[in-house]
Amino acid sequence: MIDISKQTVKIDCPECKRSIPVTLKQIADEVKVRCSCGQEIQLKDKNGTNKKALRDVNKSLKDLDDAIKKLGRL
């Protein structure tokens, strides 16, 4: 069983455009994260971040699925 709340996705810092890894749980909880440049980012579900997150998670799950399939061929 995969716990997707522990999946991390990357968001872009509005200040320095650096990618910051956050967990889906952090997005769901709408916590503030701090970039290494010092910029605080308030995570929000409603601005589409979570949609993007879920897309990324789906991709991650697909990658994992592909990896498992590859293992099965060994």
Apex CA 42: angle with CA 41 and CA 47, to 5°?
110
**Smaller CB separation from Zn ion, 15 or 30:** 15
Please report how close the Cβ of residue 24 comes to Zn ion at its closest, in angstroms: 21
**Smaller CB separation from Zn ion, 37 or 61:** 37
Q: Are strands 8-12 and 32-34 parallel, antiparallel or unpaired?
A: unpaired
**Smaller CB separation from Zn ion, 15 or 63:** 15
Alpha helical stretches, state H, 1-74: 24-28, 49-73
> Given the rule CB under 5 A, which residues bind Zn ion?
13, 15-16, 18, 35, 37, 39
